[in-house]
């Protein structure tokens, strides 16, 4: 199965990339993400364990994600109920405060849990880019940045 999605985001590519790369905050705005833990992070790669909870279907994925901030991050499955999961985020700066985000994900299923995951995978993938676009809009509206707790911290005044 292969999924391609794109969106125009009212944030810079760098700010949007930081939002995508910060998996530890996903549970605060990605509806099906029950938990996310960063296992390792440096300038060239981030590894995370993501707990999925979608309508009673629960499973964990660990991904290793090479990256080149602010334009590209790959997704490679390390462990989970899938035979294969790989993809990428591509970000292209359109103006100082806007970018185009392209998301591609390819997967193959091999276990019973994986087959069940495949039944909802397209819906989950659809919601990924929507969740990030909505989060970016909320950040733009309040000139906010995610803080360490995953909440939005307001950087400007609200008048």
Q: Which among 48, 24, 42, 57 is positioned nearest to 124, based on CA atoms?
A: 57
**Distance from C-alpha of 120 to C-alpha of 108, rounded to nearest angstrom:** 13
Q: Dump pLDDT digits (tens) for 31-65.
A: 889 999 999 999 999 999 999 998 887 889 999 99
Cβ–Cβ < 8 Å for 38, 26:
no
Model pLDDT for residues 87-111, shown as the tens digit of each residue? 999 999 999 989 999 999 998 877 6
Residue 81 in tokens: 């109920």
Local structure of 119: helix, strand or coil: helix
Give the global pTM: 0.79
């Amino acid at each position: 199965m292969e999924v391609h999605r794109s969106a125009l985001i009212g944030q810079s590519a760098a700010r949007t990339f930081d939002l995508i790369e910060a998996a530890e905050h996903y549970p605060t705005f990605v509806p099906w993400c029950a938990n996310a833990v960063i296992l390792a992070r440096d300038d060239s790669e981030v590894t995370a364990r993501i707990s999925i909870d979608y309508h009673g279907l629960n499973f964990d994925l660990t991904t290793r994600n090479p990256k080149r901030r602010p334009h590209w991050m790959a997704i490679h499955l390390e462990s989970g109920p899938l035979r294969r999961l790989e993809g990428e985020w591509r970000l292209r700066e359109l103006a100082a405060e806007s970018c185009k985000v392209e998301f591609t994900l390819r997967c193959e299923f091999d276990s019973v849990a994986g087959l069940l995951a495949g039944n909802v995978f397209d819906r989950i993938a659809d919601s990924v880019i929507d969740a990030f676009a909505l989060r970016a809009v909320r950040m733009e509206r309040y000139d906010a940045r995610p803080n360490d707790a995953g909440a939005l911290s307001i950087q400007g005044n609200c008048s």
